[in-house]
Amino acid sequence: MSKIALAVLLSLAPALVSAQTVYKCTSATGSVTYSQAPCGKDAKLVMDSKPSAKRADSVDDAALSATPKAADKGRPDPNVQAISDSVEDTNCRRSAQRLYFEPDTSDIDSLMAQIRELENSHYVNSATGVHTANSQHMEQEDRIRASNLRGVIATKEQQNASIRADSQRAMREALAECDKRKAEREKTAAL
């Protein structure tokens, strides 16, 4: 790319970035979504960066009065702040939800497969085709092995339940902290 083309592109970049329209939508569950296109019948225009000639046709007076005034220059734009707060809340909640995880149960599944295999095995004397005393002894050993495996499974299930409970508790605490921060932001904004 030539230096001239790059210079022209860089000079147009701020205009392209600022020429965005942002709509705010609230779902039935109360979650807020921001979009560049109307995202439902309740969509509210929160930011419109179209040239003023087009604004007169497409935006009502209330939206035009939302432009910053000389007295408001020290304060952040409330629309940008609302978007920033929403992003912060979303990131906080996602981080909190990552604290919960399901433990790996593949070892339990493997142990259960071994138990099924032991329970379904039959010992038959290959020469006579009937059960022998030795085969009965082997069946007893298999019963003992299956019982031991069930004990190991019970221990692993208790460990997994503890891991689940700990991660759920950590997630709930983190979500509560997100709610607390959001409430503090809203309280500060109301002042």
Residues 132-173: tens digit of each pLDDT = 655 666 678 888 999 999 999 999 999 999 999 999 999 999
- Number of CB atoms found within 10 A of residue 96's CB: 19
Confidence of residue 45 (pLDDT cuts 50, 70, 90): confident
Copy the structure tokens of residue 50.
């179209």
Copy the structure tokens of residue 170.
């950590």
Of 113 and 49, the structure prediction assigns the larger pLDDT to 113
- Torsion, CA 49, CA 53, CA 54, CA 60, rounded to 10: 80
- Given this model, what pLDDT does residue 122 score? 67
Helix residue ranges, H only, the chain? 3-18, 52-58, 61-64, 78-97, 106-120, 133-190
Q: Does pLDDT of 82 surpass 80?
A: yes
Please tell me the number of Cα atoms within 13 Å of 50 on its side-chain side: 15
The DSSP secondary-structure symbol of 77 reads P
The DSSP secondary-structure symbol of 124 reads -
pTM of the predicted model as reported, rounded to 2 decimal places: 0.49
Q: How many residues does the chain have?
A: 191
The pLDDT of 38-51, averaged and rounded, is 69
Please tell me the number of Cα atoms within 13 Å of 117 on its side-chain side: 8
Instruction: Tell me how far apart the alpha carbons of residues 86 and 94 are, in angstroms, rounded to a whole number.
Output: 12
Q: What is the identity of the amino acid at 165? A: A
Strands of the sheet with 32-35, listed across from one edge: 32-35, 21-26, 44-48
The CA–CA distances, whole Å, from 131 to 17, 62, 79, 139 equal: 83, 91, 82, 10
